[in-house]
């Protein structure tokens, strides 16, 4: 069952081959056995999980006529990145600042999956406040990559990626601000999708950079991600950036042939900076797409080289504003010893935040300060508009854009800690889609050096998730990279 797709799990539950309680217990036992090594989960609660599973079984037994009982996801377990507020569960965002915070309400994403009848396995480890590309900044310790525990799983959704790769959960939620779903999906050999900005509500998702953050699904396959996105997408009046659009079935076009599909290959994605082993695997995947009937065309994204500097002005600026609420007054960590109110603020934030979070708050405060706003923040927003315009021009020549997700396979722990800029460049191929608000996804396409997974990135037009998922699914019908798992974890 640990290798079954969500559709297969749904069929097994519907046919009474396994109960929701038995399925949840299977994964809980794996978590109990393997999490001490991988550190993918921050919080589990067997009693809460099994209570939800029993409720799912009872609803199925009595044939309850409601949306949850009718859902294809009913009774299937998943885990949530610990950035989503989850009622009654500890919600830490990977930080000392929220280490003991119990959320009094559910995020919209959590509500949507609960309405579909899914069972929560627990809360997943992540880079602190989603700031990182390696999952080394978590207050609760680094997550290990199941393919090689001496290497990073990627970040910030590293716990989500590691949990799925190790089959500690069949599916998980993630968030993507600059590549934080796609990059860990690539480094851990699974499928992850960042929807168009506004398709999934950000209500109850602890904010990092509000104009960039977007929640999305992570699972083994494109088909699984399509089912999850169908459940989690939807308008929410509590989120001013949520888009009011008709409900979609994102699995509707999965089986369409790829004949005539035009794939754009940006020259900027295939230049210097990509490791040779990644290049070889990505080019082999593109050859497979040509065999499936797709054609490739050269396109250009001339301003993509500016995406990293623009992002690291905009994202820290928004973070410095969003994280000002963590002051020790209302909730979260408070310094135990202080003199006056100003001293309490200072010591609470100094003790409660890790080094990377402090670095980004300082950068963000600087670029928003008087005299520097126009020189940095305003210029970065102008570049952002140019990047979006580049994509608009490129999509006049193609249906989707493809390239590498990450310039390298997973690197060793500590390899980039001494140089934050080198760490930031890990997201060089993913950041531009966030700046433009476009949908993007990563799917496994082979293995590079040291037998580590390589991810292929697909970028679509705004709201064209179905075409991306179709392209990914058809590729996964003729390859098995997405179904492979690390040795010794069965």
pLDDT exceeds 70 at position 66: no
Number of H helices, E strands in the chain: 16, 11
* Domains of the chain (ranges, CATH numbers): 6-257+478-483 (3.90.1300.10)
Q: What is the CA angle 331-101-214, rounded to 5?
A: 95
pLDDT exceeds 90 at position 12: yes
Mean pLDDT of 236-240: 98
The pLDDT tens digits of the residues spanning 321-361 come to 999 999 999 889 999 999 999 999 999 999 999 999 999 99
- Quick one: pLDDT at residue 420? 85
pLDDT exceeds 60 at position 313: yes
Rounded to a whole number of angstroms, the CA Rg of the chain reads 21
User: Hey, is 321 helix, strand or coil?
Assistant: helix
Q: Which of 72, 157, 160, 180 is catalytic?
A: 180
pLDDT exceeds 60 at position 223: yes
pLDDT exceeds 70 at position 454: yes
pLDDT exceeds 60 at position 143: yes
Q: Greater confidence, 420 or 91? A: 91
pLDDT exceeds 90 at position 65: no
pLDDT exceeds 80 at position 100: yes
Q: Which residues contact 54 (CB under 8 A, 6 or more apart)?
A: 20, 21
Give residue 42's Cα distance to chain centre: 17
Mean pLDDT of 287-298: 98
- Quick one: pLDDT at residue 58? 94
- Given pLDDT bands bounded at 50, 70 and 90, which one contains residue 235? very high
- Quick one: pLDDT at residue 360? 96
Distance CA 437, CA 211 (A): 9
The answer to whether 227 and 490 have CB atoms below 8 angstroms apart is: no
- Given pLDDT bands bounded at 50, 70 and 90, which one contains residue 68? low
Is 156 noted as a catalytic residue in this protein? yes
- Given pLDDT bands bounded at 50, 70 and 90, which one contains residue 64? low
For tokens 């950035």, name the residue. 83
Average the pLDDT over each of 117-126, 471-480, 481-490 and give the range with the smallest value.
481-490
The pLDDT tens digits of the residues spanning 387-433 come to 999 999 999 999 999 999 999 999 999 999 888 888 988 999 999 99
- Quick one: pLDDT at residue 82? 98
Q: Which of 71, 133, 134, 156 is catalytic?
A: 156
Q: 355-368 and 307-322 helices cross at what angle (nearest 10)? A: 100
pLDDT exceeds 80 at position 53: yes
Is 81 noted as a catalytic residue in this protein? yes
Distance CA 99, CA 106 (A): 18
Mean pLDDT of 241-265: 97
> What is the pTM for the complete model shown?
0.96
Q: What is the CA angle 166-73-180, rounded to 5?
A: 45
- Quick one: pLDDT at residue 70? 57
Q: Which of 81, 194, 416, 467 is catalytic?
A: 81
- Quick one: pLDDT at residue 272? 86
Mean pLDDT of 9-28: 97
Percentage of residues of the chain with pLDDT beyond 70: 98
Would you give the end-to-end CA distance of the chain in angstroms?
11
């Amino acid at each position: 069952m640990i290798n079954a797709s969500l559709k297969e799990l749904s069929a097994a539950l519907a046919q009474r081959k396994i109960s929701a309680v038995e399925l949840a217990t299977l994964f809980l036992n794996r978590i109990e056995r393997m999490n001490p090594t991988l550190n993918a989960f921050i919080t589990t609660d067997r009693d809460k999980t099994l209570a939800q599973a029993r409720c799912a079984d009872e609803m199925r037994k009595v044939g309850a006529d409601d949306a949850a009982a009718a859902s294809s996801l009913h009774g299937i377990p998943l885990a949530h990145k610990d950035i989503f507020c989850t009622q009654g569960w500890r919600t830490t965002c990977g930080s000392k600042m929220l280490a003991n915070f119990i959320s009094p309400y559910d995020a919209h994403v959590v509500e949507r999956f609960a309405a579909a009848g899914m069972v929560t396995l627990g809360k997943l480890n992540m880079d602190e406040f989603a700031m990182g590309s390696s999952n080394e900044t978590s207050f609760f310790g680094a997550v290990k990559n199941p393919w090689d525990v001496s290497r990073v799983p990627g970040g910030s959704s590293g716990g989500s990626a590691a949990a799925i790769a190790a089959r500690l959960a069949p599916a998980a939620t993630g968030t993507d601000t600059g590549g934080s779903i796609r990059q860990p999906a690539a480094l851990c050999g699974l499928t992850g999708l960042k929807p168009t900005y506004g398709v999934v509500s950000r209500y109850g998702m602890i904010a990092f950079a509000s104009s960039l953050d977007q929640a999305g699904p992570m699972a083994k396959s494109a088909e699984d991600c399509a089912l999850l996105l169908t459940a989690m997408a939807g308008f929410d009046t509590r989120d001013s950036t949520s888009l009011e659009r008709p409900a979609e079935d994102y699995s509707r076009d999965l089986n369409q042939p790829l004949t005539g599909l035009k794939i754009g290959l940006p020259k900027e994605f295939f230049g210097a900076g990509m490791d040779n082993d990644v290049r070889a695997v990505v080019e082999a995947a593109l050859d497979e797409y040509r065999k499936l009937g797709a054609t490739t065309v050269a396109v250009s994204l001339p301003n993509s080289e500016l995406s990293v500097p623009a992002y690291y002005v905009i994202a820290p600026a928004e973070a410095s504003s969003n994280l000002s609420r963590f002051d020790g007054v209302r909730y979260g960590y408070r310094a135990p010893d202080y003199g006056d109110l100003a001293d309490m603020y200072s010591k609470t934030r100094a003790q409660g935040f890790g080094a990377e979070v402090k670095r980004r708050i300082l950068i963000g405060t600087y670029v928003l300060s008087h005299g520097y706003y126009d020189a940095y923040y305003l210029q970065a927003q102008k570049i952002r508009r140019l990047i979006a315009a580049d994509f608009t021009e490129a999509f006049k020549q193609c249906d989707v854009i493809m390239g590498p997700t990450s310039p390298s396979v997973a690197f060793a722990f500590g390899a980039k800690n001494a140089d934050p800029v080198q760490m930031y460049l890990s997201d060089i191929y993913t950041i531009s889609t966030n700046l433009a608000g476009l949908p993007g996804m990563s799917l496994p396409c082979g293995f590079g050096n040291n037998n580590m997974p390589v991810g292929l990135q697909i970028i679509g037009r705004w709201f064209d998730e179905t075409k991306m998922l179709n392209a990914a699914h058809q590729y996964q019908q003729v390859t098995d990279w997405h179904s492979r798992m690390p040795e010794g974890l069965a």
